[in-house]
Amino acid sequence: MLSLRQFARLRRIPLHHARSVVSQSVSDKSTADNALGALGLDDSIAPTVKAEEPVEDWMLLQPLDTNGRGRRREPLLNIPPPEDPLLHLLASMIMTHGERAKANRIVSNTLLHIYTLTRAPPLPILRQAVLYASPAVKTMTRTHGAKIVHTPIALSEKQRTHYGISMLLEAAKKRTGRRLEERLAREMVDILQKVHTSIEANQRSGNVSWGGALDKKMEQHRFAMVNRGGVRIAPGAMNAAAIAQAA
């Protein structure tokens, strides 16, 4: 029990000394010694702090991906993130009645079907199929009096991708199959096989009937070539092109 003199000295201790007495950190031994000296106490009565024991590896929790039945197995297929712009656009064009989750599921299943058919990464195959099915021009119809004029117009990259996906979906709907993702995957794989076969055989695209989205693209290009006379050219564009070609 404290005497009256010790109790009086305890009341005169500053607040930061009292806090240091309560904490008694091992890393700040000098502060603890000063506080004990102000109280008139000895180091022998101070509570001993037990050193921390090292943590063994078996005490640590294993990450979630190494637990369960699929432990230490490499992923069979790396599904790309849903933030991919091409997959996002494809899901937007598939979506009906605002059912975004259903459209995303169809896109994911399409990638799985492509992988099942080819045993190759599905995203590059999807990109190549969309690229091969994308037209470079479109034809606008205008009326001048009693005359109808068809004018070819070049498409931007986003417009080409939009038209290519639209042609792929239209061709996939005409295929036989129960689900859209299966028909779409078969259409994309079929496009790559036909294009690579024609390249190896040195065949011109205008003389080959491919069917599906590729035929629709070539028909759109042929119609634009037939009506190329309706293209409007700026007055100084021909002179600039001739000068650039001569240089």
pTM reported for the whole predicted model: 0.59
In the chain the beta strands, taken as DSSP E runs, fall at 137-144, 147-154
pLDDT of residue 19 exceeding 80: no
pLDDT of residue 169 exceeding 90: yes
By CB atoms closer than 10 A (0-12, 13-18, 19+), residue 126 is: buried
- Supply the mean pLDDT for the chain: 75
Q: Which pLDDT does position 180 carry in this prediction?
A: 94
Look at 39-53, 144-158, 218-232 and tell me which has the smallest mean pLDDT: 39-53
SS3 120: coil
Tell me what the mean pLDDT of segment 50-67 comes to.
55
Tell me what the mean pLDDT of segment 78-89 comes to.
76
pLDDT band at 231 (very low <50, low <70, confident <90, very high): confident
Distances (CA, A) of 219 to 50, 62, 89, 136, 228: 84, 59, 24, 12, 14
Tell me what the mean pLDDT of segment 101-112 comes to.
94
Q: Which pLDDT does position 209 carry in this prediction?
A: 66
For residues 181 and 113, is the Cβ–Cβ distance under 8 A? yes
Ordered alpha helix ranges (H), 174-234: 180-200, 213-226
Tell me what the mean pLDDT of segment 19-31 comes to.
50
pLDDT band at 107 (very low <50, low <70, confident <90, very high): very high
Q: Which of these, 150, 136, 119, lies nearest to 231 by C-alpha position?
A: 150
CATH for the stretch 85-231: 1.10.455.10
Q: Which pLDDT does position 97 carry in this prediction?
A: 94
Question: Is residue 81 within a helix (H) or strand (E), and if so which, with residue range?
Answer: none
pLDDT of residue 25 exceeding 50: no
| Residue 189: CB atoms within 10 Å | 19
pLDDT of residue 240 exceeding 70: no
pLDDT of residue 21 exceeding 50: no
Q: Which of these, 149, 152, 172, 132, lies nearest to 220 by C-alpha position?
A: 152
- Domain extent listing, the chain: 4-45, 85-231
